[in-house]
Amino acid sequence: MRNPKVETVRGVNDVLPPTYRLQKQIENQLSSCFQSFGYRPIDVPVIEYTELFLRKSGEELISRMYDFTYHNRRLCLRPELTASVARAYIQTTLQGEPLPVRLYYSGPVFRYEKPQRGRYRQFTQMGVEAIGAAGSMADAEMIALACQSLDKLGLKDYRVVLGNISLLNQFLRTMPLERRLGNFLLSQMEELRKVRRAALEAAIEEICPPDNLVETSRLQHLLQGLSEEEAKATILELLENTNVNLVGNRQKMDIANSLMGKIQRAEQKPLWLKALDFMEQLAQLQGKPQEVLPSARQLLASYHMDSGGLGELEEILAILPSYNIDSTRIRLDFGLSRGLQYYTGTIFEIHHETLGQERQLCGGGRYDDLVKTLGGNNDIPASGFSFGIERIRLAMESEGILPVVEESTVDALIVPLSAAEHCYSIEVGEKLRSKGLRVVLEVRGKNLSTSLKYAAKQTIPFVIVVGEAERLANVVVVKNMATRQQQQLPLEEAVMVMRRENDE
Amino acid sequence: MMSNLKIALPSKGALDKDTRQFFAAAGLKVSRPNERQYVGTIPALGISVLFQRAADIFTKVAEESVDLGITGYDVVRENGRDYDNVIVICHRLGYGGCDLVLAVPDSWIDVTSSQDLADLTLVFKEKGRDMRIATKYPNLTRQWFYSKRIVNFSLVEAHGALEAAPSMGYADAIVDITSTGTTLRENRLKRLLDGNIIESEACLIGNRNTLKGNQEKLATTKVMLELIEAHSLGKKYISLTANVRGNSPEEIGQKLTQDLDIAGLAGFAGPTVAKVYGAEDDCYGATIVVSKKDVSAAVEHLRRVGGRDITGFTPNYIFGDRSNIYEDLITKLNH
């Protein structure tokens, strides 16, 4: 009986040679673009402490992480690379280098998603980080580099969507909104356009039930009119007298403080309703820059908010033409939020017109707090972006511009006619390889006619036959598979024949 | 009758007893020759039975060691993600009910909802540690926390008595199943107001690969499901028969059905009326099958038309024109 098969884990793929070559070719082109802007390659581990992503990546991403405990350490497979690169910067000698430090990376990331076309549980991200540079010149470089990279690949039907998360951040910071709720709202900017507002409100109430204060309200009643000190003393006294048996490592004082906090907690619903109103208005602001900017300015003025973020966007828009970026590709969208919590300013995405739901090719932005959050010495501004390599391949496929991968990767097959020629055939092979040819040896002891069929199937252009006569005369028989012609030649000449064919 | 169908049933505890009762009531007595042995049969259909811990039954079905299994819905939800070959054939069998809940120490008077818990995780975080949750249900627990957008917590593998974890100090809170809440209370734990993670009952699962296309197994499965379904339905109804005086069966039938208020009290399709051959020439027997909750209203209704000597019994089975559970199963197998 045959043993049961072991298959791939759901949602991940084997990448077979043709696709692998294509992706490597794409990555090589991107690398050369990145290098032309002075970015240097870095590689970071696939496995990290979960804590790295808990710090700032956002609940949305965390809930999709491969997160596990192994030998008492909480580890995860990286869901993205920016946090890892920032960690590496802080942890290594990079931190001593003059700023900005420009780095690029490429590698697999892992997210527990519902698998579908263009969305897999392992995929490849390739991107750049510029650590230690703030301002519109740095932001514009990011966007320009991303666009030029896609141009270099020959992609045409893409669109750059540009936004600035600081507007929403600034708004949310002005009110005593629970952090968890604030983060949720940040991550829901895009949802707001997809789902009805009522559905979003229901989701918020699920996270933050409006009326969970039944028990507290009784207490609140009891403590009304007392000063904070008196109230706390009363709670402590209550705890003391009711003989509450404390378990674990919470002290009575902790509980009293927390209860006070709960009583004083501002009712959240009016706050998030107000935030949703603002978000809905922000989400309306999308389209051509010259049309969107004035309305954005109006909106901020009506909320008495600082419009610094808009100024930055205008500067970036003014710089981009110098990089030969086609301005008709650029849309402003203040409903863009990117889901990751570490962004602080300019953010952008690049979408491909033909890919539907999975249209995002690239995403990035400014993350000025991340280095500090991860324990870096100073406030170090930074920005970056990353491409989804598989998505880029799909986009190129849909535009019909995938590079043609040569069918055969082998120039010649060497067939020894008997065991006596084994050593000689290896010698021939080694010599041909040293001349830069790609050569395979018939190692399975098959006869000549089987070997010729094999060569035909594999589209190997030449078969080199060595028998006793050739070994003794120190020559080879070269058979051209296309013309069916064969001739006995010294090795040097055989090389020339094959090279000529290769060059044509 | 012999069949090659295999089913895994819970080997001990309340779920074992209730499952065997459930099958016996449907006419499928489970025979376990020796309590220390882990194999048995359902002689009526020649089904082989493997007795396993409820928690292992999902795995047995997933591994194709058995075709069918009965376990808690909680177990299925905990283990079921990404196992496309395990299908839930019947998700509520009507017994073995319990809730998977999050419980915190009684003394946490400041924590009554998930929102309070979320706040507390941040306080813990500021003090440099995670809130530790002890559970045997890591997947459902993680999902629930994430759905509440709480990420600063860590799961503690449960050893033995979970409820004792907070007082023993190796966890701060627990996620566990409870049916009456007694054990939680005795361990000075309380549920959160919105801390119900799932409601569970005993459920029937099957393996897609071993069932699909196997006519012999499906034939046996069909008989089993028919009996279970018909018995579950039968339990909900009562058949009432009364002696009624009247001039003709038609007259009695009409009396029993004319009043529109009595929708549902005249049987599935209407009453069955037949002559009683006794001393009185004008006596008929009228039979109606009604939902158990309507029994007293139905008795009153029979009395209103002159019914007396009313007998009632629960039908052991009610078979419809087809087996819904079986047809669902076939749909799921082909999906």
Tell me the per-residue pLDDT of A150-160, one tens digit each, with 9 for 90 and over: 999 999 999 99
How many beta-carbon contacts under 8 Å exist across A and B?
A: 87
Residue B60 clears pLDDT 90, i.e. is over it = yes
Residue B3 clears pLDDT 80, i.e. is over it = no
Nearest to A245 among B107, B116, B154 (CB): B107
Q: Once rounded to an integer, what is the mean pLDDT over residues B134-161?
A: 88
As a whole-number percent, the residues of chain A with pLDDT over 90 amount to 58
**Chain A residue at shortest CA distance from B125:** A55
Check B108 against A10: CB less than 8 A apart.
Answer: no
Mean pLDDT of chain B: 88
What does each C-alpha distance from B182 to A69, A157, B41, B163, B191 come to in angstroms? 32, 64, 35, 11, 12
Residue B143 clears pLDDT 60, i.e. is over it = yes
Rounded Cα distance between A358 and A117, Å, is 8
Of A95-109, A241-255, A463-477, B131-145, minimum mean pLDDT range:
A241-255
Nearest to A215 among B107, B112, B147 (CB): B112
**Chain B residue at shortest CA distance from A112:** B82
Strand, coil or helix: B73: helix
Which residues of chain B neighbour A214 with C-beta distances below 8 Å?
112, 193
Calculate the CA dihedral of residues B152, B156, B161, B163 and round it to 10 degrees.
Answer: 0
Q: Across the strands, what pairs with B240?
A: B288, B312
**Chain B residue at shortest CA distance from A178:** B119
Mean pLDDT of chain A: 89
Check B109 against A259: CB less than 8 A apart.
Answer: yes
Overall pTM surpassing 0.80 (yes/no): yes
Which stretch, A223-237, A250-264, B242-256, has highest mean pLDDT? B242-256
Which element (helix H / strand E) includes B22? helix B13-25
Residues of B with CB under 8 A from a CB of A: 82, 105-116, 118-120, 122-123, 146-152, 154-155, 166-167, 169, 172, 188, 193-194
Sign of CA dihedral A480, A485, A491, A495: negative
What does each C-alpha distance from A324 to A144, B142, B159 come to in angstroms? 8, 48, 64
As a whole-number percent, the residues of chain B with pLDDT over 90 amount to 46
Q: Once rounded to an integer, what is the mean pLDDT over residues B149-170?
A: 84
Q: Report the gap between the CA of B143 and the closest CA in chain A (Å).
A: 8
Residue B260 clears pLDDT 60, i.e. is over it = no
Nearest to B146 among A59, A69, A212 (CB): A59
Which residues of chain A neighbour B105 with C-beta distances below 8 Å?
246-248
Nearest to B118 among A62, A180, A261 (CB): A180
**Chain A residue at shortest CA distance from B112:** A212
Check B108 against A180: CB less than 8 A apart.
Answer: no
Residue B12 clears pLDDT 90, i.e. is over it = no
Residue B61 clears pLDDT 80, i.e. is over it = yes
Check A250 against B119: CB less than 8 A apart.
Answer: no
Strand, coil or helix: B76: helix
Check B105 against A247: CB less than 8 A apart.
Answer: yes
pLDDT band at B265 (very low <50, low <70, confident <90, very high): low
Residue A135 clears pLDDT 90, i.e. is over it = yes
Contacts of A332 (CB under 8 A, 6+ apart): A161, A162, A163, A285, A286, A287, A288, A289, A292, A293, A296, A313
Residue A437 clears pLDDT 70, i.e. is over it = yes
Rounded Cα distance between B275 and B249, Å, is 7
Which residue of B82, B112, B115 to mutate against A (max A Cβ within 10 Å)?
B115
Which residue of A68, A200, A243, A262 to mutate against B (max B Cβ within 10 Å)?
A262
- For B87, other C-beta atoms within 10 Å of its C-beta total 21
Q: What are phi and psi of A318, to 5 degrees?
A: -75, -30
Q: How many residues does chain A have?
A: 504
Check B110 against A246: CB less than 8 A apart.
Answer: no
Going by C-alpha positions, the residue among B111, B95, B316 that lies closest to residue B195 is B111
| Residue that is written with structure tokens 């692998």 in the block | A20
Tell me the per-residue pLDDT of A268-279, one tens digit each, with 9 for 90 and over: 888 888 989 999
**Chain B residue at shortest CA distance from A215:** B112
Going by C-alpha positions, the residue among A479, A450, A442 that lies closest to residue A463 is A479
Rounded Cα distance between A189 and A169, Å, is 12
pLDDT band at A264 (very low <50, low <70, confident <90, very high): confident
**Chain A residue at shortest CA distance from B166:** A248
Do the beta carbons of residue A164 and residue A282 sit within 8 Å? no
Nearest to A63 among B109, B146, B167 (CB): B146
Check B151 against A62: CB less than 8 A apart.
Answer: yes
Do the beta carbons of residue A160 and residue A329 sit within 8 Å? yes
Do the beta carbons of residue B48 and residue B224 sit within 8 Å? no
Nearest to B149 among A74, A184, A244 (CB): A184
Residue B149 clears pLDDT 90, i.e. is over it = no
Check A62 against B146: CB less than 8 A apart.
Answer: yes
Structure-block tokens of residue A28: 């090589």
The whole-number pLDDT of residue A215 equals 60
**Chain B residue at shortest CA distance from A183:** B149
Q: Report the gap between the CA of A55 and the closest CA in chain B (Å).
A: 9
Q: Report the gap between the CA of B86 and the closest CA in chain A (Å).
A: 15
Q: Please indicate whether residue A181 or residue A319 has the higher confidence score (pLDDT).
A: A319
Q: Please indicate whether residue A26 or residue A247 has the higher confidence score (pLDDT).
A: A26
Q: What ipTM was predicted for this assembly?
A: 0.77
Check A258 against B110: CB less than 8 A apart.
Answer: yes
Check B109 against A244: CB less than 8 A apart.
Answer: yes
Q: Report the gap between the CA of B157 and the closest CA in chain A (Å).
A: 10
The whole-number pLDDT of residue A142 equals 96
Q: Are strands A346-352 and A360-366 parallel, antiparallel or unpaired?
A: antiparallel
Rounded Cα distance between A322 and A312, Å, is 16
Tell me the per-residue pLDDT of A56-81, one tens digit each, with 9 for 90 and over: 777 788 889 999 889 888 999 999 99
**Chain B residue at shortest CA distance from A57:** B151
Which DSSP state fits A267? P
Residues of A with CB under 8 A from a CB of B: 10, 54, 59, 62-63, 69, 74, 178-180, 183-184, 206-209, 212, 214-216, 239, 244-250, 254-255, 258-259, 261-262
Going by C-alpha positions, the residue among B55, B86, B301 that lies closest to residue B158 is B55
Peptide bond into A100 cis (omega under 30): yes
Q: DSSP string spanning A338-374?
A: -S-TT--SEEEEEEETTSGGG-EEEEEEE-TTHHHHT
Residue A417 clears pLDDT 60, i.e. is over it = yes
Residue B266 clears pLDDT 80, i.e. is over it = no
Do the beta carbons of residue A157 and residue A353 sit within 8 Å? yes
The whole-number pLDDT of residue A172 equals 87
Residue A214 clears pLDDT 60, i.e. is over it = no
The whole-number pLDDT of residue A87 equals 96
The whole-number pLDDT of residue A389 equals 95
Rounded Cα distance between A101 and A109, Å, is 23
pLDDT band at B180 (very low <50, low <70, confident <90, very high): confident
Q: Once rounded to an integer, what is the mean pLDDT over residues A459-483?
A: 94
The whole-number pLDDT of residue A248 equals 63
**Chain B residue at shortest CA distance from A257:** B110
Going by C-alpha positions, the residue among A368, A334, A294 that lies closest to residue A130 is A368
**Chain A residue at shortest CA distance from B104:** A247
Check A259 against B167: CB less than 8 A apart.
Answer: no
Which element (helix H / strand E) includes B304? helix B295-304
pLDDT band at A340 (very low <50, low <70, confident <90, very high): low
Check B115 against A212: CB less than 8 A apart.
Answer: yes
Of A29-38, A436-445, B280-289, minimum mean pLDDT range:
B280-289
Contacts of B102 (CB under 8 A, 6+ apart): B114, B117, B133, B141, B144, B173, B174, B175, B191, B192, B195, B197
What does each C-alpha distance from A288 to A156, A162, A299, A311, A361 come to in angstroms? 19, 10, 17, 16, 20
Check B118 against A248: CB less than 8 A apart.
Answer: no
As a whole-number percent, the residues of chain A with pLDDT over 70 amount to 94
Residue A241 clears pLDDT 80, i.e. is over it = no
Check A247 against B193: CB less than 8 A apart.
Answer: no
The whole-number pLDDT of residue A319 equals 95
Q: Counting beta carbons within 10 angstroms of the beta carbon of residue A427, is it exposed (0 to 12), middle (13 to 18) or buried (19 or more)?
A: middle
Q: Across the strands, what pairs with B321?
A: none
Q: Once rounded to an integer, what is the mean pLDDT over residues A383-405?
A: 92
The whole-number pLDDT of residue B278 equals 79
Q: Domains (ranges, CATH) in chain B?
A: 6-96+201-234 (3.40.190.10), 98-197 (3.40.190.10), 237-313 (3.30.70.120)
Q: Report the gap between the CA of A444 and the closest CA in chain B (Å).
A: 39
Q: Once rounded to an integer, what is the mean pLDDT over residues A166-189?
A: 84
The whole-number pLDDT of residue A409 equals 83
Residue A408 clears pLDDT 70, i.e. is over it = no
Calculate the CA dihedral of residues A163, A167, A173, A179 and round it to 10 degrees.
Answer: -20
Nearest to B194 among A59, A212, A255 (CB): A212
Q: Report the gap between the CA of B135 and the closest CA in chain A (Å).
A: 14
As a whole-number percent, the residues of chain B with pLDDT over 70 amount to 96
Which residues of chain B neighbour A114 with C-beta distances below 8 Å?
none
Rounded Cα distance between B258 and B252, Å, is 10
Do the beta carbons of residue B253 and residue B273 sit within 8 Å? yes
CA angle A69, A70, A71 (to 5 degrees): 125
Nearest to A212 among B154, B172, B193 (CB): B193
Which residue of B63, B102, B107 to mutate against A (max A Cβ within 10 Å)?
B107
Contacts of A145 (CB under 8 A, 6+ apart): A33, A34, A37, A128, A385
**Chain A residue at shortest CA distance from B108:** A255
Q: Once rounded to an integer, what is the mean pLDDT over residues B110-131?
A: 87
Do the beta carbons of residue A126 and residue A385 sit within 8 Å? no
Q: Report the gap between the CA of A98 and the closest CA in chain B (Å).
A: 33
